[in-house]
Structure 1
Amino acid sequence: MKQFLLAIASVFLLTSCNFTEEISFNPDGSGEFIMRYDMSQVMKTMEEMGGGKKDEGKEKIKLDSVMYFKDMLVEKADSIATLPQEEQAKLKNLENIVIKMKMDEEAGVFDLGFGSTFTNLKELPEALAKIEEAKKMNSENNSQFGKMGESAVAKASESVFEYVDFTYDGKTFSRFIKEDYEIASRDIETLDAEINEMGDSKDVFEAMTYTLVYNFPKKIKSVTNKNAVISEDKKSVTLKMNFIEMIKSPEEMALNVELED
């Protein structure tokens, strides 16, 4: 299993993934944020690198797991107690982080998500910072994952929340771009240059998507963004856009959601 994940990490450097930003609200305004990475393309690329051959004798990996940092802290309490106080405090600060992984090698499905709970939306920036810290810790322990963060594509995905803000009062939810945000042409040029150097993988990266999924305890009355899709039960809204275009025109992913009384 470990070797398989390391192989995926290596292939990820040469492939792409689709991003999903999901927030689920409870009636009291608390909720969960999770950033998901659909890396099914990685599974496909690994098979192609193997010449498309399938090892019939090898058992295909299939799992659907959820790991809570708070459980890990309890399980590894003795080991953690030997760490410097600063490191212990850093780990304690991540106790609300959850990592979700769904993998079905036979079906070519690989979905990885980092998330955190919050008591109200004002805590979301702090939750996002903790998620990034958890990802950073993972990178420090794995050089292959660390290299991922050096690419312009990875940096672009991580910077999304530097210029996005949210508000929610139980009646109206808003996702908007901060007034002081101004896209740097140099960053766009670097991103375009990196993609242009990808050769045969260029088309795959240009097809990357970024999807918003927001789940509410009440039915949705209206949504301002014309490209947003309301679910059949009217309690969820989805908005999907090309990732590169989203980075260049983030205002296209802004929306206001009004809920029924």
Structure 2
Amino acid sequence: MSGEFAGLAAVVTGGGSGIGLAVARLLADRGAAVACLDLDPSGVPAPLHAIGCDVSDADSVARAVTAAVARLGGLDVLVNNAGAGAQGTIEANPDDEWHRVYDVNVVGIVRVTRAALPYLRASSAAAIVNTCSIAATAGLPGRALYSATKGAVQALTLAMAADHVGEGIRVNCVNPGTVDTPWVRRLVDAAADPAAEFVALRARQPIGRLVTPAEVAAAVAYLASPLAAATTGTVLAVDGGMHGLRMRPAAPTAARTDHHPHP
């Protein structure tokens, strides 16, 4: 295999669809042997390895990581991409839902990384990339629970980077904006006016469109690559400019004031 990931082994959680599957495919295209861990890995194509995994269950995680390492012959790259969505203000979700989403989005990263660390420590090109979100840094309406978990993921990423830099393990995260995934499409379809909702989601990103899974995958691949060996503790936004740009609305078209004299 050719590419900067040739000879390396990667595990991608949430690799059954959307961003995770795009990441897995790109890493494989660049030479990596890749295992996709997912609640439903039935859509994972060869040559990717499909492994069932529930990141909210420690035993399931331990079995899945062990199986992945056995199939791949080791582990060099871990992409913590599995996550759960949530909508509403702080009043919209009961305590049980807050605990459930935190358990997947935050503690899920802890479980998988904890299981992977013994193998990553044996790698000379160890890298962890966590999928975070623009919701970690921008106040988005109706996303209180989801935003809180992603804020935790960003803070966790920096803490992990500090803890493991001395072991040669790099830890970074990507902060996507609104990505055109099956999950986002389901949210749009559930809106009172799906067409208007889709237009609004596109308009809030300065580039005027949704981010593609392939664009997020390219950022993950950069952070995971041995070519980025000096990059750790970095938060890379792939959000169409949402986090930093403050665009002025287009000015209304001025009425014509020129007049032609009568002949």
Answer whether TM exceeds 0.5 for this pair.
no
TM interval, shorter chain, is 0.3 to 0.5
The structure with more strand, counted as a fraction of residues: 1
TM-score (norm 2): 0.34
